[in-house]
């Protein structure tokens, strides 16, 4: 079996070549992606790794080789931090190299000590990279997890390798078939796998971004018509299946054309954004708000009966009225009217559009009654035995559509 052992030069050359090709691939593909900086940083990291591995084969260059590998690990951390849009303080990048130099050139330093030190320092940087991947887990990217696993295993392999390298006195003593074989195997798997999963993660973010853009109103940042209608249909089906009501509230900014004509379209855009902010401030976790037209918005309020739905709509109206007195430095004093409709399981409404028609009629009633008020559709009227003044917000403007 000894004759079948791989030559160390062959293994190291293979590792260097794989790292080089991975770096070149990432440089080429990364420049064409939506996350150029992380891909390029990871590519440069692989190029430093390739250089460091290649220098191990040369005479009297192992110090530079070890430093290149440390830089490679640090750049991997920076790449993922950049992907997560977080800065890395330069002092932490310099600390690893300084620590390695301090340890490696101490009174007890020899090849084994230097090799163990570079392995340990690079393992720390790889663990920082693992932590950064974990910190960004709120962004649902499936490729994040295999990449995190690879980086973690590679970091632990480096830490394990640090304990194995101390006895060696020179690079020539290291055999490819000896106790360092887990490091060689892990390195090849890591270089290839991390490159693939990083590109997959970048692609997943790009696809998710396109899907998000297709569902979000670009001006206000809330759901667009298609997204809120789809979510509303699903919410209604789920609510009715559980025997719960679902309410819709249509909001229409009062005299919005006059706002644009008087103060300009820029201020009009600020008014639309201000309403979206006010609506989000009044939402419960289960509610959804979306823009369905020029100055029209739709709130989907699952599980809410007439009293609760009107109270929520009235809160939207009140928050917006208070926040829209001055907008963009101008006395806009914008207001909003709302039409509320509540659907119950078994009341002959099968599609969201039917409930939307009720809310729309209630909105027209609110406009006809003088604007700046909430109107409840006649189909959703609260039974007299349950209608009390305590059910309505203070200073509210509630109107029952006839």
Summarize pLDDT for 66-99 with one digit per residue, the tens: 889 999 999 999 999 999 999 988 888 888 888 8
Structure tokens at 327: 């907008």
Nearest to residue 344, comparing CAs of 303, 291, 294? Answer: 303
| Long-range CB pairs of 82-89, under 8 A, 24+ apart, other chains included | 82/37, 82/38, 82/41, 83/35, 83/38, 83/136, 83/201, 83/202, 84/132, 84/135, 84/136, 86/132, 86/135
The overall average pLDDT reported for the chain is: 85
* H-helix or E-strand spanning residue 26: helix 8-30
Cβ atoms of 1 and 178 within 8 Å: the answer is no
Whether 108 has a pLDDT exceeding 70, the answer reads no
> Please, which pLDDT band fits residue 59 given cuts at 50, 70 and 90?
low
Neighbouring CB atoms inside 10 A of 372's CB total 18
Encode pLDDT of 344-362 as tens digits. Answer: 887 777 789 999 999 999 9
CA 164 to chain centre: 40
Higher pLDDT, 3 or 128: 128
Whole-model pTM? 0.69
Radius of gyration of the chain (CA): 31
Beta bridge partners of 223: 216, 290
Encode pLDDT of 182-210 as tens digits. Answer: 778 888 999 999 999 999 999 999 888 88
Higher pLDDT, 380 or 333: 333
In the chain, helix, strand, coil percent, each to 5?
65, 10, 30
The active-site residue out of 132, 295, 314, 379 is 295
Structure tokens at 182: 């887990």
- Quote the CA–CA distance of 76 and 131 in Å, as a whole number: 12
Whether 15 has a pLDDT exceeding 80, the answer reads yes
Whether 234 has a pLDDT exceeding 90, the answer reads yes
Whether 26 has a pLDDT exceeding 60, the answer reads yes
Q: How far is CA 41 from CA 45, 81, 82, 331, in A?
A: 6, 10, 9, 49
Nearest to residue 119, comparing CAs of 129, 104, 108? Answer: 104
Total count of residues recorded for the chain? 402
- Based on the residue annotation, tell me whether 230 is a catalytic residue of this protein: no
Cβ atoms of 236 and 352 within 8 Å: the answer is yes
Cβ atoms of 81 and 131 within 8 Å: the answer is no
> Please, which pLDDT band fits residue 6 given cuts at 50, 70 and 90?
low
Whether 3 has a pLDDT exceeding 90, the answer reads no
Structure tokens at 221: 């940042």
Mean pLDDT of 153-177: 76
Q: For 31-143, where are the alpha helices, taking DSSP H only? A: 36-56, 62-83, 90-104, 111-135
- Quote the CA–CA distance of 340 and 359 in Å, as a whole number: 5
Cβ atoms of 35 and 84 within 8 Å: the answer is no
pLDDT of residue 392: 40
Whether 380 has a pLDDT exceeding 50, the answer reads yes
pLDDT of residue 4: 38
Torsion of CA 397, 400, 401, 402, to 10 degrees: -140
Whether 391 has a pLDDT exceeding 60, the answer reads no
Nearest to residue 307, comparing CAs of 189, 396, 391? Answer: 391
> Please, which pLDDT band fits residue 397 given cuts at 50, 70 and 90?
low
């Amino acid at each position: 079996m000894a004759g079948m052992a791989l030559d160390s030069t062959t293994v190291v050359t293979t590792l260097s070549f794989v790292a080089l090709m991975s770096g070149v691939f990432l440089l080429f593909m990364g420049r064409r992606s939506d996350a150029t900086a992380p891909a390029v940083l990871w590519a440069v990291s692989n190029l430093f790794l390739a250089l460091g591995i290649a220098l191990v084969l040369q005479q009297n260059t192992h110090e530079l080789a070890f430093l290149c590998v440390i830089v490679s690990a640090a750049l991997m951390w920076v790449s993922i931090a950049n992907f997560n849009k977080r800065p890395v303080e330069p002092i932490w990048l310099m600390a690893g190299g300084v620590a390695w130099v301090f340890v490696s050139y101490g009174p007890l330093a020899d090849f084994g000590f230097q090799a163990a030190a570079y392995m340990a320092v690079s393992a720390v940087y790889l663990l920082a990279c693992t932590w950064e991947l974990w910190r960004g887990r709120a962004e649902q990217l499936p490729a994040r997890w295999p990449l995190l696993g690879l980086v973690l295993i590679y970091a632990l392999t480096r830490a394990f390798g640090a304990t194995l390298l101390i006895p060696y006195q020179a690079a020539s003593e290291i055999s490819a078939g000896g106790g360092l074989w887990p490091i060689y195997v892990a390195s090849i798997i890591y270089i290839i796998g991390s490159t693939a999963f990083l590109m997959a993660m970048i692609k997943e973010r790009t696809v998710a971004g396109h899907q998000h853009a297709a569902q979000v109103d670009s001006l206000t940042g809330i759901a667009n018509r298609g997204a809120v209608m789809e979510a509303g249909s699903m919410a209604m089906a789920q609510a009715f299946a559980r025997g719960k009501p679902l309410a819709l509230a249509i909001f229409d900014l009062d005299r919005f054309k006059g706002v644009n004509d008087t103060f300009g379209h820029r201020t009009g855009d600020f008014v639309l954004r201000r309403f979206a902010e006010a609506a989000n401030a009044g939402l419960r976790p289960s509610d959804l708000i979306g823009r369905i037209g020029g100055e029209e918005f739709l709130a989907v309020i699952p599980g809410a009966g007439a009293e609760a739905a009107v109270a929520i709509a009235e809160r939207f109206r009140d928050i917006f009225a208070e926040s829209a007195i001055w907008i963009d430095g101008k006395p806009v004093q914008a207001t909003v009217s709302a039409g509320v409709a509540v659907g119950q399981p078994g009341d002959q409404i099968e599609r969201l559009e039917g409930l939307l028609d009720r809310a729309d009629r209630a909105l027209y009633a609110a406009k006809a009654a003088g604007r700046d008020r909430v109107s409840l559709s006649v189909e959703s009227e609260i039974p007299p035995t349950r209608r009390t003044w305590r059910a309505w917000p203070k200073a509210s403007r509630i109107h029952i559509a006839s």
